[in-house]
Each structure stands twice: as C-alpha cells, then as structure tokens.
Chains A and B, each alone.
Chain A
Amino acid sequence: MHDHVSRFRDACYVLAVVRTPAYPAVYVRGTAARRLFPEVSVIRHDVIVLGAGLAGMRAAIEAKRRGVDVAVISKLHPTRSHSGAAEGGINAALGNATEDSSDSHAFDTIKGSDYLGDQDAIEVFAREAPNDIYELEHMGAVFTRAADGKLAQRPFGAAGAPRTVYSADITGHVLIHVLYEQLIKHDVKVYEEFFATQVVVDEGRCAGVIAWDTKSGGLHAIEANHVILATGGVGRMYYGTTNAFACTGDGMSLAWRAGVPLKDMEFLQFHPTTLKSNGVLITEGCRGEGGYLRNKDGDRFMVGDAPNAMELASRDVVSRAEWKEIADGRGVDGCVMLDLTHLGWKKIKSRLPGSRELAIDYAGVDPIETPIPVRPGAHYMMGGVDCDLWGETMVPGLWAAGEVACVSIHGANRLGGNSLMETIVFGRRAGQAAAERVLEQGDTGARIEPGVLADEDRRIAGILNNDQGERPGALREELAKTMYDKAGVFRTEEALAECQATVHDLRERAQTLRLDDHGSVFNTDLTNALELLSLLECADCLVTSALARKESRGAHSRLDHTERDDETWLKHTLNWCDDGEVRLDYRPVTITKHQPLARSY
C-alpha cells in the first residue's frame, strides 16, 4: 500500500516537473524532495472552511447538512481554537430573565458600535440569534439553567436586559466542544494542523487554497470553488493581549493578498480586565455578577466616566477610564483592582470558578479574599475582511465569518457576548449560502494552476531555507511592544506615525527571517515566521487606518481629535492591498432606523 502511495507521488512529482520546467528538483538540504514537493491538485472539495473555531465549525456543519462536500482546514486541532477561551457568554434576546426583544438587542448593539455598525446586518443578527441559541442547546450545549429549567441569562456591559446566555464562565469552551461533537456526528473531513499560505483566485473567482502540512511537511493545493475564511482575530500584534498565540490574523492577510479589502481595521477592542503577567482575560461576567473596579485608594473610579452604568459601561469606556487611572498614577503596579470579595465564596465558586482558577494560576491571588490586579489588553478586532450579510466578499466564492470578518455588527466597539453570537449566526449563514451556491451553480471551473503552486512553493522554500537575518520571535516582540505603546487605548498623530514607521521597517526586515529549523516535520519555526508576516500586514492596515481617521469613535480614541465627527467620519475604512502597500478607501455606513446620537452610559 505504502509503495503505491509513494509511486503515485513520484509520478505526480515527475508530472509537475514537466509542467513547470523551471521548478527546482531538490531544494531542502538532506530531505527527500518527494516529501516536500506539492501534491499536484488531487484534492478537491465543494467547500473549504479555513479555521475550526466556532464560526468555522458552524459553517462546515451547515454546509454538510445541505449535502455538499465540505472540508475544514485548520492550523490547530478544532478544540484548540481560541473560541474555546471565551468566558462570559453569548447574547440573544430570549427574554428568559426579564422582558427583552430583538429590537432592544439591535439598538444596544448599534449604540455600542458608536453608530458605525451596519444597521441592516445588526437587525439580521439580533433577529436570528434566539433560534441559533436554541439550536446550540439541542446540539447538547451544557448551559447554566435557571430554577425553571430554562436557559439562565446574566447582565453584561451596555445591554438593556440580562441577555447573556452562559455556561458558568466557560461558555466558549462548552460551545467549541459541542460543535466539535457535531463535526464528528456529521463526519466532516478535517485537515488538522494544515497551515494555509495562500488563497488562490483564478480569473476573479475563488479557486481554493494552498496549505502546508505541519505534521509531515509539504505544500498541498486544495481546490474548492468556495472558501469560507473563519480564522479568527489578530490580537497577537499587541504585547498585552487576551488572545492565544494562534491569533495572528492569517485569514485577514490571506484575503488582503487575494485582493479583498480589510474594513475598519483601526477599531481594535481593549478588554478592561486582563492580567498583567500574560494578558489572560478575566471575564466581564465578573462585573456582570456585581464586581467593582477600584483604584489604589479603593475608589470606584467608574463614577467619573459612566455614573449610571458604572462597571457595566461599554468596554471602550471602561478601558479608557482604567488606562487614565493607571497613567495618572492612581493604579497599583500598573493595574487597577477588580474587586469580587463582596460577592462571597458561594457565588464566585458557582458562577465564576474559571476566573478564580485563572487568577490563582496567573496572578497568584484568590479573588474570594483579594481583589485581582487587571489592566486593559488587546482583545478583539472589530474590523476584518469586508463581506456582505451572507459573508461573501468581493471575490465570488470567497466568504468570511466570525472575528476575521467585518459584516459589520460591531462597528467601532463590540459589546460583550456579541462575538460568540456572531460566530454562530454568520457562520451558519456563510455555510448555508456557500452550499446553496454550490447546488445552484455547480463547478465554476476555477482551478489552481500548476504555475501558481510552483510560485508559492518557491516562496515557502525561500523562507524555510533562510538562515540569515533576525529570528521571527524578536521581530514579533518588537511589533507587539510598538503597537501596545503607540497604537493602544489612546492615540495621537505623532505616536501613530512613529508606529507606522516601525511597522514598515519591520515589514522590510521580515523579508529575510532567520530560521533554525529547515526540516519538514512539525516545523513551528516556519509557522512562526508565516504568522509574523500575517501580523505585520494586519498591523500596517490598522495603523494606516488609525492615522487617517481624525476623530474619536468607539475603541479608536484620538487625543488630538477627541470628538466623534459624523459629518466627515461616519464611514467605513477600506484597506486595499496595492502591491503590498496599504491603500485607503471609504464606504458609507448603512443606517435604517437609528440616527446617530450622543453616546453615554
């Protein structure tokens, strides 16, 4: 059997060399060319989902249910995805705790977005959320229950009613496992630990992806007329971040290089309660359950910026208030204190056990007895791949859902609990739309040409074999500190310009990265390098957009332009890839019912 496989691969190899004569036969020292050589396009699916977090798995399940051939490609095993780290909950107007409505959910989201969210998208989102929650429950999600057996709902920041469905403080974990269970039930093919390096566009249509098999090495062309990007966020461009090491904006960079603009990239949410040591998130649920934020004098400083909502104001508001306390010297060792001690051990142990464990493990304090030192950390990219209400981008057949996408629901600031819901609503919609398109349209004829594969192979081999220059880790740290220092919670023209210059310099230096590992098996040196390149492209888009937007809106807060300016800036930023450079463009915001109002909490 093994012999047949290797003979087949040899044949493919010979065939491809004939088709691309300039191709170097052996380019990795000491290893067999056969293992590293790309497969000639023998792998084909109707739909490929890139990424296996909540949005990706939800999309794949939906497409599979509709009878098309779908495969998931992910650089991690599905349950390792960062959706699993979401803690607090998922928003839907079920009205289980108090009266609630989809309209109210939509309005809170629009106001929270500082009126930059597209209102047609937000209406779809709020309307479809409840059924999606019920469906998750039917799949087996283990949600926390109220005494009557219904799903319990807790209050969250800037929400008009207790709207957040949850599972203690491990909601994301519970959901990622329930969707993985469904992935198994529906027998969806998963290419685990495959790192996508390119989305291929053939004559303006999506043709599939080229991916590196991390486990055994080798590039593969995996063809599909439809590719759904669901690769998540890009928090790792910041030093203080709640995001996993894997959140490196790969999908954003793939789409950008494939000719799709990235939208509203200057809007990156800082979460108010993250740990200093490693950025780990302490859920907003802590404040939802009644936790206080205090400065070094023990005062609840939120009274200044949000006298009504206090700690449960919108995240951008709370982050700014904290940042000011710390920068003005009213913090404790670079942090403010999240005080849960008055909640009592019973509530902490039953509702917030995960947060307690994290505080003990990574901050060395037990929140039952001692307040937790926290500070704002980069958390969520409101912007992302520009797409329509079904997730389709400007390239037919290329779709996006979840954090990688910008539909746009969150506008300039996301409300806690809305991102998990977005992954499910828009993951399902993208899976449905892509599958319907396959069934209507059949094969579009888009193909990955051997030349494209050979070029990509040469590019990857170039990175893999290089042993000159700086290590990826060193550049990543420089980028992360620059972003945290100069494109953080508060921004100025001067700091952003410096930041941009550093990012450009880093992009230049990252052209030659020193790799120690030139092997093909589980080469994480290579994947680190590829991730750094994605991060740098996304950082360039972020800082270029932020420099241009001369106003303060939601998470984008300019000290030199402190007011929101609807006259000039009530519009989406589009970042195009112009031969590797960022080119800016703008598009109006969709407004249906709610004209912009001043935003206070």
Chain B
Amino acid sequence: MTEIKNAHLTTLKGAYDTELMEATLRIRRWDPDTQRARFDTFTVTVPVTASVLDALDAIKDTHDGTLAYRKSCRMAVCGSCGMRIDGGAALACKTPMKKFVDAGHTITVSPMGNLPVIKDLVVDMAPFWEKIRAVKPYLDTKDEEVPDTEWRVAPEHGDMIHKESLCILCGCCVSECNSMESDPDFLGPAALAKAYRFVGDTRDTDTRERLRDLNGAHGIWDCTRCYFCNQRCPKGVDPRDAIAKLGAESFKEGFVRDEGARHAKVFVDSTFKGGYLRETELVPKTIGPVNAVKDIPFALQLARAGKVPNPLSPHKAKDNDEVKRLWKLLEKEAKGAERPRAQHPDAVREG
C-alpha cells in the first residue's frame, strides 16, 4: 500500500469536546391511557450549550423512552417544539438550559395551553390548523391576468408584511392567548397574523372580503389587547400589532359597526375632542344606550368598588389644540395614502 499523505485529516480531533453540566427538569406527564397527569423530575448531563430540547432528548435517550414531545429542526424554524417552560410558552430548542443551571433553578416543562393534550408535552394542533384554514390563508388575485414574469412589488411594500411572514405556526401565541381562554372559537393571534399577511400583500385583491370576514364574530375585535402573544412569540411576529393593523385597515374599508370598532372609535373621538378619554361616554357609545341602561347595576357595582372615575370632572386637556393639530396631521396622511398595489409587468413596460 502506498504511503498516504495527510492521513491525519480523516478525523477531526476534539470534534466532540465540550464542557458538560447537570440539568434538572420537572416535567408534566400525561398518560393517554389512564387520562392522569403527574410530574416527573429528571437530572441529566448535557453540554453547556444545550437547549431545553437537548435536555429532553437526553432524558428520552438515557432515562425514559416513554417521554413524548414533538421536535424536528432544533433551529427555531419548524415550529414543532412549542411548550410551556416555567408556565410560559416557548420553543424548547430556542431556550438555553445554561441560565437555569447557573441559577440553580429547576424548570417546569408542561404542554402548551388552549389546546387539548394528547400525551406528555404533545398537544392536539387540529383546532389551531382549523383556524389557520378559516382565514383563507392563500393569495387571491381574483380575475387579474396572471403575468408571464413576476408581479412588480416595491421593496418597501414587500416589507409591510415582513414580520407576519416570519411566523412559523408554532402556536406559542395561541397557548398564552387570554381571549381564547374565554372564547375557544376566537380566531386567535396566529390566524390573525396570517390574515394580515394577505391583507397587507400588495398582490392580493381580496382585501375587502377578507376584512369583512375578520370583522365578524370571534374576529379581530375580540382581542383583549393583553399583548401576551407579542411577548411569547419566538420569532418577533408581534401578532397583536398585526391585529391592530387589521383594525386600521377595517376602518379604511368602512367596517365600523362592530362593538369593538365602535369602542376604538370612541377612544379616538373622545381624545380628539378633549385630549382625555371621557369614560362616561365609552359604554353607551360602544354598546348603545339601551344596553347601557341594562348595564347600570353593573356600573353601580363598579362604582362601589371605586372603579368609576368622577363623571363630572372637566375632561379637557390644557393644550388640547395641540392634540387636535397632531390628530389632523395623521388623518391627512392616512387619507392621502392609497392602498399600494403590485404592478403587472406589462403595465410597467408600457409606461
């Protein structure tokens, strides 16, 4: 055999060298056969760079093969490993273990909320996908003639849906959604962010119909603006901001009848007029005078608890004119701006 030059090159020495640490995790188990929950605590040896997902893998490979969880990409793009870590939804693969180990803290891992549990950390995502389907999640250019090359989209118009198109459909936002907890039929942050991804797409021509549907029951106005979705989203999608954008687009299209829309409008009108929010006007203008009368007992209850501000205070800010000027400036800008549209390449060529 001939002498091989550089035979040392076959194997990288020290390829697996890494510092190790002991990680402890408390995991909520759910047994689908007995329909019982329990907590198990495991301590495993993992590299210092390990994520929570790596620690779960170590448990499954060396301690307990029955542990069930979803995983795939381990790089925060597939959206499989959403779970609650110390009570808040996160991607296990994007959560480093070291900070907990350093703090001497045992994390508690449990399945995501607002979705039925199948086994251990695995939830049934079917209701989640149903809601995605419900917002007509695909581009509709209706009867526009399809060009033979690409639609022309200005870079800044493409950027309008940049954040929403980052969504990996992991469900972390839905897990923590307060509104969905009280109304399981609420479309929820993930589906609504997906909806804005098309409303804000300059190629889509179904905007009005989309907004009409989103203004229906369980739609955009059922969001309580708790901002938990923004807080828990691992990809910076900011679903609540998308919902706000859908609200603004709805106003532009004249969808102002929903209680939620009226509520938002009272806020704006009231601050325009006096610079302050007149809370006494808020209820009748939102739900109508008849319903407001019906709610008087509730209002009294609130008043007794000290939750109602003095209705007789002046409600007029000192520099109200300035507020008005600002408001008018914004209004002018909004009115001048037409909805940007993608251009057909033929139209660009002609002129």
Contacts and interface: CB of A to CB of B under 8 A. Distances in A.
Nearest to B146: A138
A484 B62 contact: no
B120 to A, nearest CB: 8
Contact of B72 (A76, A138, A358, A562): A76
B148 interface: yes
A99 B52 CA distance: 48
B270 to A, nearest CB: 38
Contacts of A81: 72, 78
A571 interface: no
Contacts of B60: 473, 524-525, 528
A522 B17 contact: no
A375 interface: yes
A142 B158 contact: yes
Contacts of B336: none
Contact of A327 (B12, B148, B169): B12
Contact of A362 (B75, B138, B153, B169): B75
A245 B72 contact: yes
Nearest to B169: A79
Nearest to A490: B9
B78 A327 contact: no
A47 B308 CA distance: 65
A142 B7 contact: no
Contact of A84 (B10, B62, B73): B73
Contact of B66 (A142, A148, A516): A516
A203 interface: no
A338 to B, nearest CB: 16
A20 interface: no
A485 B10 contact: yes
A177 interface: yes
Nearest to B343: A149
B119 interface: yes
Interface string B61-80: 11011101111111111111
B71 A245 contact: yes
Nearest to A217: B32
A246 interface: yes
Given A278-B54, A516-B65, A145 B125 contact: no
Nearest to A173: B77
Contact of B149 (A134, A173, A357, A516): A134
A280 interface: yes
B14 A522 contact: no
Interface in B129-176: 129, 132-133, 137-139, 141, 146-155, 158, 161-162, 165-169
Given A134-B150, A140-B138, A181-B137, A84 B77 contact: yes
A155 B185 CA distance: 47
A138 B141 CA distance: 9
Nearest to A96: B150
Q: Is the interface of B mostly helix, strand, loop or mixed?
A: loop
Contact of A323 (B9, B18, B77): B9
A495 interface: yes
Nearest to B348: A149
A471 interface: yes
Given A177-B169, A516-B64, 10 more contacts: A30-B33, A76-B80, A82-B73, A137-B150, A140-B198, A215-B118, A239-B16, A280-B75, A485-B12, A559-B10
Output the residue of B65, B66, B96, B149 with the most chain A CB within 10 A: B65
B161 A142 contact: yes
B74 A488 contact: no
A323 B10 CA distance: 9
B224 interface: no
A491 B10 contact: yes
A139 interface: yes
Contacts, number: 225
B313 interface: no
A244 B138 contact: no
Contacts of B33: 30-31, 519, 521
B166 A170 contact: yes
Contacts of B139: 138-140, 181
Contacts of B70: 80
Which 3 pairs, one residue from A and one from B, show the smallest C-beta to C-beta distance?
A473-B61, A140-B139, A516-B65
A362 B65 contact: no
Given A138-B151, A559-B6, A484 B15 contact: yes
Interface in A34-86: 76-77, 79-82, 84-85
Interface in A517-553: 517, 519, 521-525, 528
Contact of A82 (B11, B57, B72): B72
B138 A185 contact: yes
A412 B72 CA distance: 28
A220 B198 CA distance: 38
A522 B122 contact: yes
B5 A361 contact: no
Contact of B9 (A281, A324, A472): A324
Contacts of B146: 138
A544 B144 CA distance: 55
B interface, size bucket? 35 or more
B19 to A, nearest CB: 11
B332 interface: no
Nearest to A326: B12
Contacts of A215: 118
B17 A471 contact: no
B12 A471 contact: no
B8 to A, nearest CB: 6
B4 interface: yes
B138 A79 contact: no
B318 interface: no
B348 to A, nearest CB: 7
Given A240-B15, A327-B9, A173 B153 contact: no
A146 interface: yes
11 contacts: A85-B73, A85-B75, A134-B150, A138-B147, A140-B204, A173-B77, A173-B168, A239-B15, A334-B12, A516-B65, A528-B60
Interface string A135-157: 00111101111111111000000
Contacts of A474: 61-62
A79 B147 CA distance: 28
Contact of B78 (A79, A146, A358): A79
Given A79-B168, A278-B49, A491-B10, A522 B80 contact: no
Contacts of B343: 149
B94 interface: yes
A133 B18 CA distance: 43
B150 A559 contact: no
A277 interface: yes
Nearest to A130: B149
Contacts of A491: 10
Contacts of B66: 516-517, 519, 525
A351 to B, nearest CB: 12
B150 A151 contact: yes
Given A76-B72, A85-B73, A246-B72, A488 B78 contact: no
B47 interface: yes
A11 interface: no
A522 B68 contact: yes
A137 B151 contact: yes
A145 B158 contact: yes
